[in-house]
């Protein structure tokens, strides 16, 4: 039987954006969440957020052709229980921190969870990032961008989750916004999985346990191999 304990384990960050023109239909997630962590017999820990209800909303998402002022961004922040933190950077994990951008500009979300485990336990586990959603500042609108496998719903807006190491992940995307919302937030789920290390601890089995996303040229959605 799984052991379940309540813990806030999702992360959220936001940046200021301006008005947009194109419509998309997405689901609106309830603002009432049940957040828990469950650990199965195989040692995998699953941080989850459950919502009670969902409805449909029309949401405006920006296009590059909009003539808009610069976006002001919060470039760094903690993730709920401080076990993980995020940074918004240019290009990759080593890029400059971004404090401002324009709608459609390239951005890179860096997710660092090296604080999730301590000591020896961290050497035998790693993370999977999944179920990421962009949410309006008042939480009335949302737009899922990453599915339950860590794959992109729409590669034209953002790529699938990629991993720099066992404990650092990234999402390459572009700055967008919802109509009528001055800020936009990204929330994701984090799963810790058990891995095997080589004797000299120079390599990990984590890459083979993570889903591999592929993009079909005939569809906008990524899928796993």
Q: What is the CATH number of the domain that holds 209?
A: 2.60.40
| pTM, 2 dp | 0.63
Q: What is the pLDDT of residue 201?
A: 52
**Bridge partners, 12 (sequence order):** 187
Above 60 in pLDDT, residue 177?
A: yes
Lowest-confidence range among 4-8, 138-142, 162-166?
4-8
Residue 29 inside a domain? The answer is: no
How many of the other CB atoms lie within 10 Å of CB of 51?
A: 14
140: left (phi over 0), alpha (psi -120 to 50) or beta: alpha
Please check whether residue 49 lies inside any domain of the structure: no
Structural domain contains residue 132: yes
> pLDDT higher for 225 or 206?
206
56 or 225, which is more confident? 225
91 compared with 41, residue with greater pLDDT: 91
Whether 28 is covered by a domain: the verdict is no
**Considering the domain boundaries, does residue 208 fall inside one?**
yes
For the chain, the domain total comes to 1
Given this model, what pLDDT does residue 68 score? Answer: 38
In a domain, 37, yes or no: no
- Band of residue 41 on the pLDDT scale cut at 50, 70, 90: very low
Mean pLDDT over 47-52 rounds to 33
Look up the domain containing 128 and give its range.
Answer: 12-23+56-215
Residue 7 lies in a domain: no
Q: Please give the full DSSP string across 51-114, using - where no structure is assigned.
A: ES-EEEEEEEE--TTS--PPEEB--EEEETTTTEEEEEESSSTTSPBPSEE-TT-EEEEEEE-T
Q: Could you tell me which residues are beta bridge partners of residue 214?
A: 223
Q: pLDDT, tens digit, for every residue of 142-167?
A: 889 999 999 999 998 899 999 998 88
- The better pLDDT of the pair 124, 89 is held by 89
Mean pLDDT score, 74-97: 70
Which of the four pLDDT bands, split at 50, 70 and 90, describes residue 60? Answer: very low
- Flag whether 31 is in a domain: no
């Amino acid at each position: 039987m799984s052991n379940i304990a309540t813990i806030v384990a999702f992360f959220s960050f936001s940046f200021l954006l301006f008005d947009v023109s194109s419509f998309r239909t997405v689901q609106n997630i309830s603002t009432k969440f049940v957040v828990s962590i469950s650990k199965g017999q195989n040692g995998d820990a699953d941080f989850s957020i459950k919502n009670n209800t969902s409805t449909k909303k029309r949401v405006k998402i920006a296009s590059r052709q909009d003539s808009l002022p610069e976006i002001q961004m919060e470039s760094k922040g903690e993730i709920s229980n401080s076990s993980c933190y995020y940074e918004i950077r240019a290009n990759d994990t080593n890029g400059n921190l971004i404090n401002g951008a324009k709608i459609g500009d390239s951005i890179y979300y860096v997710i660092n969870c090296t604080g999730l485990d301590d000591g020896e336990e961290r050497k035998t586990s790693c993370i999977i990032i999944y179920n990421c959603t962009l949410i309006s500042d008042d939480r009335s609108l949302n737009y899922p961008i990453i599915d339950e496998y860590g794959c992109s719903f729409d590669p034209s807006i953002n790529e699938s989750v990629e991993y720099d190491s066992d404990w650092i992940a990234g999402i390459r995307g572009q700055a967008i916004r919802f109509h009528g919302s001055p800020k936009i937030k990204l929330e994701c789920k984090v799963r810790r999985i058990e891995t095997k290390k080589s004797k000299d601890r120079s390599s990990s089995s984590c890459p083979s346990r993570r889903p591999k996303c592929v993009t079909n040229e005939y569809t906008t959605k990524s899928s796993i191999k």
